[in-house]
Amino acid sequence: MIAMDDFVKIEVDKIFPGPVPDQAGVQIKLWHHKLTVLIQMPELDRDQLKAFNKGFEQYSYLESDTLIPIALWIFDFPVPLSSIEGNFNAKLAKRKRVDLYLDTDDDDPIKNVIQFFLLDGQILRAMKQIELDPGAVQLFHATIRKQFDMDYNRIDFDRYLAGLHNYDTQDLFRMGKVFKHELRSDSLALKLLWYLHKWV
């Protein structure tokens, strides 16, 4: 049984109660068994917020062909938010958390939920939660396992990641495997109150 003490309350237009990126951009993390995307957009405007709430109809997963495989997710939001991309380095995550995420036995099916938090500085402006195509998650699992099988440090990882900056986001999107996503009215994008499993 999970106690309510294991959760924190988060509310739109309030200070986000978790770790917040200190620079504009995208961070992808594992919180408990959920893939989590933090989008930091200081001075967020109304049109960008509207684009986030509308959601996306397609996304792409790319495993780079570099010596150290980089896991890249690209989500094709409407303009002016446009496509956003984030990477994942399994070596920076807690191993127990990753093992839980990778566990797909008969009693624990593939965990394909992903949650998004749109931040303007410390303030949470919007959030949504969707289900990814299980095939996309399986590709991601394969990259994670490859990363764990390799001996590298963060400097090595960042060097190969920097090489991908020669491509723009749309190039990376096309290089990856594209998946469709059906927009649904039951998105959590517009909910003002949510309970989030603690990230610690």
117-159 per-position pLDDT tens digit: 999 999 999 999 999 999 999 999 999 999 999 999 999 999 9
Q: Is 2 a member of any domain?
A: no
Q: Which two tokens stand for residue 172?
A: 């990376």
Structural domain that includes position 155: 14-197
Judged by DSSP in three states, 73 sits in strand
Q: Is the pLDDT of residue 183 over 90?
A: no
Q: Which of 3, 34, 2 is nearest to 18 (CA)?
A: 34
Confidence at residue 197, expressed as pLDDT on a 0 to 100 scale: 52
Structure tokens at 180: 């469709």
* 44 part of a folded domain: yes
For residue 164, being part of any structural domain is answered with yes
Domain membership flag for residue 9: no
Please tell me the predicted confidence (pLDDT) of residue 1. Answer: 40
Does a structural domain hold residue 8?
A: no
Residue 195 scores a pLDDT above 50? yes
Position 159 in a domain: yes
Domain count within the chain: 1
Flag whether 6 is in a domain. Answer: no
Counting DSSP H helices and E strands in the chain, the numbers are: 5, 10
pLDDT score recorded for residue 31: 86
**Does 91 reside within a domain?**
yes
